[in-house]
């Protein structure tokens, strides 16, 4: 297997599972995953959030873990990375307003490198204007936003994921097994069991 270098851009109150699960799983199989947040340095921490579906009109939110960043945002050279991950939660609401983040996302899109986004992570792709013509999904409340950005909303089961060329998307953390499996396929990672 060829070791890949993967960049994850996130921040405070991103969904805990959408950071921790891919971070640990991708390292377990030998990939390098650097997790960064604007205006933060390696060793600093972000606060995550745990969102759950408890039969309310929307998801609930509880404080998650402190996650230690393992690279400094300002040191990132996107040309050194093979793929990008954008977790959901509330972090994308403000990350999408940062020009440096948008520029990074556009690099991955322009170079047709694999991009995996989940839940509200699609907000960053919408702001970067990189989903035009692509089939994708995200948290259901983003259906109109995805359509308005020129993407083609696909309504899939919460436990599923969808691929369109280099883009892998899912609606929520419950879709991570499929999302990660499809992301690994797009990365060209083969796991033999």
- The residues carrying an active-site annotation are 119-120
Q: Contact 168/131 with Cβ under 8 angstroms? A: no
Tokens of 57: 């009109």
Q: Tell me which residue of 36, 40, 113 sits closest to 71, measured CA to CA.
A: 36
DSSP label at residue 34: E
Tokens of 12: 């405070």
Residues 6+ apart with CB under 8 A from 20: 48, 65, 67
Which residue's structure tokens are 């393992």? Answer: 70
CA distance 7 to 101: 12
């Amino acid at each position: 297997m060829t070791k890949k270098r993967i960049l994850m851009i996130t921040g405070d109150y991103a969904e805990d599972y959408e950071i921790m699960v891919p971070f640990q799983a991708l390292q377990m199989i030998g990939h390098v995953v650097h997790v960064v947040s604007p205006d933060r340095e390696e060793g600093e921490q972000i606060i995550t959030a745990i969102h759950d579906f408890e039969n309310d009109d929307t998801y609930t939110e509880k404080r998650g873990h402190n996650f230690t960043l393992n690279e400094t945002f300002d040191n990132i050279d996107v040309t050194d990375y093979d793929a990008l991950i954008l977790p959901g939660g509330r972090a994308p609401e403000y990350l999408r307003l940062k020009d440096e983040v948008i520029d990074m996302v556009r690099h991955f899109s322009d170079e047709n490198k694999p991009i995996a986004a989940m839940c509200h992570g699609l907000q960053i792709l919408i702001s970067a204007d990189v989903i035009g013509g692509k089939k994708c999904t995200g948290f259901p409340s983003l259906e109109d936003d995805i359509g308005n950005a020129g993407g083609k909303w696909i309504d899939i089961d919460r436990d599923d994921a969808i691929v369109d060329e280099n883009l892998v998307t899912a609606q929520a953390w419950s879709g991570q097994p499929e999302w990660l499996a499809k992301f690994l396929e797009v990365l060209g990672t083969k796991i033999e069991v």
